[in-house]
C-alpha cells in the first residue's frame, strides 16, 4: 500500500468522480484507476461498486475512507515539521469574482509565481454562487467570493471587506443626497444576475427594510453595469473605492440612502474536507495582496473619457 494509492482512492471517493480525482492528483484517469485497483488488491476487498458506468463506495470503502483521510493529514503534518518553505507544484484551478480580477489578481499571480514557479495557476472568473458550487463539486481548489458561503461543507476565511455606494449619472440625483425608501423606489436599479453574491445581499437588505424598487437585471459584468449607469439607464450600487476614478472624472455621482447599503465580506473558500498544504499557503498569498480599491492598468484605461 502506498500514499499515492490512498490519495487516489480518497479523492475519487470525496469528489465522486474519477475524472475530477485524476485532475486533483495530476495523473491520467487510467493511472488513477490503476492505483485504486492496486489498493483494492492489497486490501483484498472492493472499495467501489461499478454499476452502469457509475461508481459508488462499498461498505468497505466507507470504512476505509476516514482512515485514508487521517493518513493523508499525517502526510501534511510531516511536511510541516520539515525545515524550509514548501514549494508547490502541479496545477491549481481557482475561482475569483470580477472585482478581484479587476483589482488584485495580477499581484496574486506575480506573488505565487515568484514563490512557487512550478505551480500552474488556472483562474476562473465568474459570479460568486456559481464558483461556490464548483468548489463544492471539487472542480475548483478554492475561490475568493462574496460571503458568507451557503453550503455547510465549505470552510471560509475572510480576506477583505468592501463598502458600497449608490451611483448615478449626473443630473439624475443631486450628489451627496440621502434618499429614503419612497424616493429610491422612483429609480430603476441595475443589478447583476441572481448568481451574484452582491445581488443576494442587496435583495436581503431590501426585503429587511421593506424596500421595493423596479429592477433591471442587466448583466453578470461589473463593467457593463458601470457603463449602463453612465448611460443613465438607472441607478446602481457599486464598490465605493473602486468607483472613485469615474466619480472624480465626472462620469458618475454618488449618493446615499437611509437605510444605508450593507457592506460585503469577501472570503477564501474551500471544501471542509480538503486538508492539503496548498490551501493555507495560497490563503496567505491572498491575504498579502487582496485589496479591492486599486485597479489594474487595464481597468484604469477603461475609465478614461473619450476626447471630444
Query: Average pLDDT per run of 10 along the chain, which is 308 residues long?
Result: 88 86 86 90 88 78 85 72 71 93 94 94 93 92 90 92 93 90 87 81 83 75 92 92 92 93 91 87 94 62 45
On whether the 3-81 domain is CATH 3.40.50.10320, my answer is no
pLDDT reported for residue 84: 59
pLDDT reported for residue 288: 94
pLDDT reported for residue 148: 84
pLDDT reported for residue 308: 37
Residue of 25, 46, 16 lying closest to 137 (CA atoms): 16
pLDDT reported for residue 297: 47
Neighbours of 44 (CB within 10 A): 7
Predicted confidence (pLDDT) per residue in 168-183, tens digit: 999 999 988 899 888 8
Which one is the CATH code of 164-262: 3.90.930.12, 2.60.40.1150, 3.40.190.10, 2.60.40.420? 3.40.190.10
pLDDT reported for residue 305: 45
Residue range(s) of every CATH 3.40.190.10 domain in the chain: 90-157+266-302, 164-262
Q: Pull the grid cell for residue 183.
A: 424616493
- Please state which architecture CATH assigns to domain 90-157+266-302: 3-Layer(aba) Sandwich (3.40)
Amino acid at each position: 500500500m502506498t500514499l499515492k494509492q490512498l490519495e487516489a482512492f480518497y479523492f475519487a471517493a470525496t469528489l465522486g468522480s474519477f475524472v475530477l480525482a485524476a485532475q486533483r492528483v495530476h495523473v491520467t484517469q487510467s493511472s488513477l484507476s490503476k492505483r485504486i485497483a492496486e489498493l483494492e488488491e492489497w486490501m483484498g476487498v472492493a472499495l467501489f461498486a461499478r454499476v452502469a458506468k457509475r461508481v459508488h463506495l462499498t461498505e468497505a470503502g466507507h470504512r476505509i475512507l476516514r482512515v485514508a483521510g487521517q493518513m493523508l493529514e499525517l502526510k501534511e503534518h510531516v511536511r510541516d515539521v520539515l525545515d524550509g518553505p514548501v514549494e508547490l507544484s502541479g496545477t491549481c484551478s481557482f475561482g475569483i469574482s470580477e472585482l478581484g480580477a479587476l483589482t488584485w489578481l495580477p499581484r496574486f499571480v506575480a506573488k505565487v509565481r515568484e514563490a512557487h514557479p512550478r505551480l500552474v495557476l488556472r483562474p476562473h472568473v465568474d459570479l460568486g454562487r456559481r464558483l461556490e458550487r464548483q468548489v463544492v463539486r471539487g472542480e475548483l481548489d478554492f475561490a475568493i467570493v462574496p460571503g458568507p458561503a451557503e453550503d455547510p461543507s465549505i470552510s471560509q476565511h475572510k480576506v477583505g471587506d468592501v463598502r458600497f455606494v449608490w451611483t448615478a449619472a449626473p443630473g439624475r440625483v443631486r450628489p451627496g443626497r440621502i434618499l429614503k425608501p419612497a424616493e429610491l423606489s422612483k429609480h430603476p436599479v441595475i443589478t447583476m444576475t441572481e448568481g451574484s453574491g452582491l445581488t443576494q445581499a442587496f435583495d436581503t437588505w431590501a426585503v429587511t427594510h421593506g424596500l421595493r424598487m423596479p429592477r433591471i437585471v442587466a448583466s453578470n459584468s461589473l463593467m457593463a453595469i458601470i457603463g449602463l449607469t453612465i448611460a443613465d439607464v438607472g441607478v446602481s450600487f457599486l464598490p465605493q473605492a473602486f468607483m472613485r476614478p469615474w466619480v472624480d472624472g465626472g462620469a458618475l455621482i454618488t449618493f446615499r440612502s437611509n437605510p444605508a447599503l450593507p457592506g460585503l465580506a469577501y472570503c477564501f473558500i474551500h471544501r471542509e474536507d480538503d486538508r492539503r498544504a496548498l490551501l493555507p499557503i495560497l490563503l496567505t498569498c491572498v491575504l498579502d495582496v487582496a485589496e479591492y480599491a486599486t485597479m489594474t492598468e487595464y481597468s484604469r484605461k477603461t475609465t478614461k473619457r473619450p476626447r471630444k
